[in-house]
C-alpha cells in the first residue's frame, strides 16, 4: 500500500514538474518594473527590466505609444533595461519584440506616469516592419489606468492568422495559474487580493504577468502582458458598518444632550 502511494506520488510529481517545465516562464520575454525616478524638474522616469532566460536573441526592439496617439516611438535598450520618461500625466503602452530562428517573443505592458514639467522630451519615431505581431489585447476593462486586484480582466489574442493552439497562464505572486480560453481566443482572469498590497500604499503595485503561446505556420509566438495591479479601492469598503457607526454616534450625542438638558438646572 505504501509502495503504491509512493509510486503514485512519484508519478504525480513527474507530471507536475513536466507541466511546470512546459509552462516555464524562462522561455518568455517579459517586462519587470524597476525603479521610478522623480526628477527635480518634474519629469518622471520609469525603468523596466526586459527578462529573458533563453538563448541570445537575434534582434530585440522596444517601442512605446503615449496616450491614445497612433504614433509609435522607439525606446533605447541598455543592458536589457528600458526607461520611459514623461513630462506630463500620460498613459503608456510598451512593447518589446525579439526573436531567433522560428521563435518570436513579444512582451507588452501599460502604465501611467504622472510627470509635471514643461520641458519637451524628444521622441524617436519607430521604423516598424510590415510583419504583424500578435498581441494580448485587454478587452475589458477597456481603459484602466488604475488596474486593481479583484477586477475582472478579459483578454483576447489579437492576430492576423487563425489561432488554434493557445496555451495561456498567469504568474500571480510566483504562482502559476493556467488560463482556460472562454471561446477560442478569449481568456478571463480575476487577480486575487493580496494582504501585502493592502498593507502598502495605494500607489504600490504587484506585477502579475499573463503568458500565451501560439503557433502560426511560420513562427512559434511567445507573448506576455505584464499587469501592474494596485490594491482594490472598493473591495474592502463596507457601507453598513459605516452608516451604523455614524448612527450610533448621532444617537449617543443626541441622548447625551437630552439627558444633560433634563438634569441641568440652568438652560443648556
36 binds other proteins per the rule CB under 8 A? no
Nearest to other proteins of 40, 175 (CB atom) = 40
Q: Kindly state whether residue 243 participates in binding other proteins, applying the rule CB under 8 A.
A: yes
Which position among 12, 18, 38, 131 is part of the footprint of other proteins (CB under 8 A)? 38
Closer CB to other proteins, residue 43 or residue 209? Answer: 43
Reading phi first (left if > 0) and then psi (alpha if -120 to 50, else beta), residue 12 is in: alpha
Please say which residue, 19 or 243, places its beta carbon nearer to other proteins.
Answer: 243
Which neighbouring-strand residues pair with 75?
62
145 binds other proteins (CB under 8 A): no
59 scored as a contact of other proteins (CB under 8 A): no
C-alpha grid cell for residue 29? 520575454
Distance of alpha carbon 44 from alpha carbon 87, whole angstroms = 7
The verdict on 146 binding other proteins (CB under 8 A) reads: no
Binding status of residue 267 toward other proteins by CB under 8 A: yes
C-alpha cell at 115: 510627470
Is 259 near other proteins (CB under 8 A)?
Answer: no
Please give the residues from 214 up to 233 whose contact with other proteins meets the rule CB under 8 A.
231-232
Asked if residue 31 lies in contact with residue 48, where contact means CB atoms within 8 angstroms, the answer is: yes
116/173 with CB nearer other proteins: 116
Contact stretch for other proteins (CB under 8 A) within 13-21, 48-56, 60-68, 246-254: 246-254
Single residue of 78, 241, 263, 265 touching other proteins by CB under 8 A: 241
3-class SS at 79?
coil
Give the separation between CA 80 and CA 49, rounded to whole angstroms.
6
**Which whole-number Å values give the CA distances from 215 to 101, 155, 157, 247, in the listed order?**
14, 18, 12, 61
Site string for other proteins, 89-128 (x = CB under 8 A): ---------------------------x------------
Applying CB under 8 A, the site for other proteins has a residue count of: 32
Q: If binding is defined by CB under 8 A, does position 236 make contact with other proteins?
A: yes
Query: Of residues 7, 20, 247, 259, which one binds other proteins by CB under 8 A?
Result: 247
Long-range Cβ pairs for the range 161-169 (8 Å, 24+):
161/134, 161/216, 161/217, 163/134, 163/214, 164/215, 165/214, 165/215, 166/212, 166/213, 166/214, 167/22, 167/23, 167/212, 167/213, 168/210, 168/211, 168/212, 168/213, 169/23, 169/210, 169/211
Task: State yes or no: cis peptide before 250, omega within 30 of 0.
Answer: no
- Write out the residues near other proteins by the rule CB under 8 A: 38, 40-42, 116, 198-203, 231-232, 236-239, 241-243, 245-250, 252-254, 257, 267-268
Amino acid at each position: 500500500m505504501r509502495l503504491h502511494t509512493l509510486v503514485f506520488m512519484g508519478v504525480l510529481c513527474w507530471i507536475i514538474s513536466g507541466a511546470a517545465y512546459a509552462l516555464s516562464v524562462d522561455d518568455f520575454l517579459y517586462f519587470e518594473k524597476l525603479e521610478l525616478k522623480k526628477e527635480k524638474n518634474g519629469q518622471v522616469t520609469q525603468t523596466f527590466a526586459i527578462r529573458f532566460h533563453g538563448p541570445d536573441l537575434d534582434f530585440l526592439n522596444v517601442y512605446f505609444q503615449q496616450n491614445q496617439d497612433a504614433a509609435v516611438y522607439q525606446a533605447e535598450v541598455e543592458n536589457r533595461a528600458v526607461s520611459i520618461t514623461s513630462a506630463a500625466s500620460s498613459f503608456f503602452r510598451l512593447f518589446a519584440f525579439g526573436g531567433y530562428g522560428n521563435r518570436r517573443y513579444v512582451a507588452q505592458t501599460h502604465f501611467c506616469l504622472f510627470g509635471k514639467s514643461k520641458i519637451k522630451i524628444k521622441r524617436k519615431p519607430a521604423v516598424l516592419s510590415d510583419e504583424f505581431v500578435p498581441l494580448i489585447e485587454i478587452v475589458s476593462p477597456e481603459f484602466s489606468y488604475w488596474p486593481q486586484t479583484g477586477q475582472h480582466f478579459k483578454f483576447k489574442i489579437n492576430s492576423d492568422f487563425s489561432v488554434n493552439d493557445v496555451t495561456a497562464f498567469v504568474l500571480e505572486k510566483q504562482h502559476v495559474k493556467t488560463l482556460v480560453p472562454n471561446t477560442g481566443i478569449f481568456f478571463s482572469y480575476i487577480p486575487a487580493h493580496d494582504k501585502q498590497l493592502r498593507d502598502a500604499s495605494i500607489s504600490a503595485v504587484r506585477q502579475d504577468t499573463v503568458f500565451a503561446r501560439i503557433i502560426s505556420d511560420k513562427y512559434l509566438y511567445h507573448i506576455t502582458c505584464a499587469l501592474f495591479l494596485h490594491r482594490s479601492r472598493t473591495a474592502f469598503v463596507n457601507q453598513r458598518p459605516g452608516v451604523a457607526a455614524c448612527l450610533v454616534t448621532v444617537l449617543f450625542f443626541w441622548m447625551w444632550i437630552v439627558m444633560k438638558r433634563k438634569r441641568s438646572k440652568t438652560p443648556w
